[in-house]
Amino acid sequence: MMPTQLTMSRAIGTGLRRALADDPKVVLLGEDIGKLGGVFRVTDGLQEEFGPDRVMDTPLAEAGILGTAVGLAFRGYRPVVEIQFDGFIYPAFDQIVAQVAKMHYRTAGAVTMPITIRVPYGGGIGAVEHHSESPEAYFTHTSGLRVVSCSNPQDAHTLIRQAIASDDPVLFFEPKRRYWMKGDVDEEFGAQTLSMEAARVVREGTDVTLVAYGPLVATALDAATAASDDGISIEVIDLRSLSPIDFGTVEASVRRTGRLVITHEAQQFGGLGAEIAASITDRCFFHLEAAPARVTGFDVPYPPAKLEEHFLPDLDRLLDAVDRVLGRVNSLTGWKA
């Protein structure tokens, strides 16, 4: 089949459609995912096509959605759960981290939890409180979960199908401000299809390694383009998988560039940036020419819409960090080369 141009929202929708068609045990659960097609229309048309037994509107209770998904998984089903917005996931926290994540361990491997938890996440859409958060680190910190985030329509489609096929539970973070980004989507899996655990070098470069995922991959690519005007060559890596992290790909890049910048929208303290900086420092300390730099959201609650541009990493903040690791200028200390 020839690739078709799809938005990321549609690319996920077609992935869900394929999963529903391929496996009768796949069921979708969530709030407003039926007739409405989800608040972001990701499940548009699926209830009409597969019926309300396969695409289930649920009562408005996130713990209830996840807890019943656990029971369905016990019964041999493969539930795909939609959490309407990132900030609504916390009522389900116990069911995710203490039940979904641990059931395989608690049953010594007898019971699998092939549950996919879809979470529209991140900011940049001018939303109100609880609608712009990036809670991925809570879940990467939890043993037993896999965590992925897509940055483009093709990966969105591939990863959602891989996530649903996985016998482990997967948190699937969808960057909501990129839902309407368009790109080619090939529905066929082939030798070129990356595994769900693999990172991808999305732009090759020689001077600095810039690690991003989800909504900030596009920002990182813009930064690389801008930097190239100044003669700086940035290698951009899209992590794709946040648990596990494909440190091998990052390490190989940093061994060549000697410089590492990590970016995410989530708050900095205890975040993925810290984990990546520590792990890469551990793996190739003597190849580093500068301390790894993090460009992240600040350690504050997600701010009101009119302040979010001061919270979210953007192209200029990325370039500032690139300058710092290159020793060109240091916006934090005022020191200039």
Residues 178 and 271 sit within 8 Å (Cβ to Cβ): no
Minimum separation from the CB atom of position 320 to other proteins (A): 31
What is the Cα–Cα distance from 333 to 337, expressed in whole angstroms? 12
Minimum separation from the CB atom of position 278 to other proteins (A): 13
* 131 classed as catalytic: yes
Q: Which is nearer to other proteins, 242 or 288 (CB)?
A: 242
Minimum separation from the CB atom of position 11 to other proteins (A): 25
Q: Which is nearer to other proteins, 167 or 309 (CB)?
A: 167
* CB-based burial, 174-210: b 16+ in 10 Å, e otherwise: bbbbbbebebebebeeeeeeeebeebbebbebebbbb
Which amino acid type is present at position 260? L
Q: Which is nearer to other proteins, 36 or 128 (CB)?
A: 36
- CB-side neighbour CA atoms (13 Å) of 249: 22
Q: Which is nearer to other proteins, 96 or 326 (CB)?
A: 96
Residues forming beta bridges with residue 238, ordered by sequence position: 200, 212
Interacting residues toward other proteins by CB under 8 A = 27, 53, 58-59, 61, 63-64, 66-77, 91, 94-95, 98-99, 104-112, 143-144, 146, 166-168, 197, 243-247
**DSSP codes, 198-242:** --EEEE--SSEEEEE-TTHHHHHHHHHHHHHHTT--EEEEE--EE
Choice among 131, 264, 287, 310 that is catalytic:
131
Which residues are within 8 A (CB) of 186 and not within 5 positions of it... i.e. 6 or more apart?
Answer: 1, 2, 3, 154
Find tokens 């959201």 and name the residue. 297
Minimum separation from the CB atom of position 67 to other proteins (A): 2
Q: Which is nearer to other proteins, 26 or 295 (CB)?
A: 26
Minimum separation from the CB atom of position 247 to other proteins (A): 8
What is the Cα–Cα distance from 33 to 174, expressed in whole angstroms? 15
Q: Which residues are catalytic?
A: 131
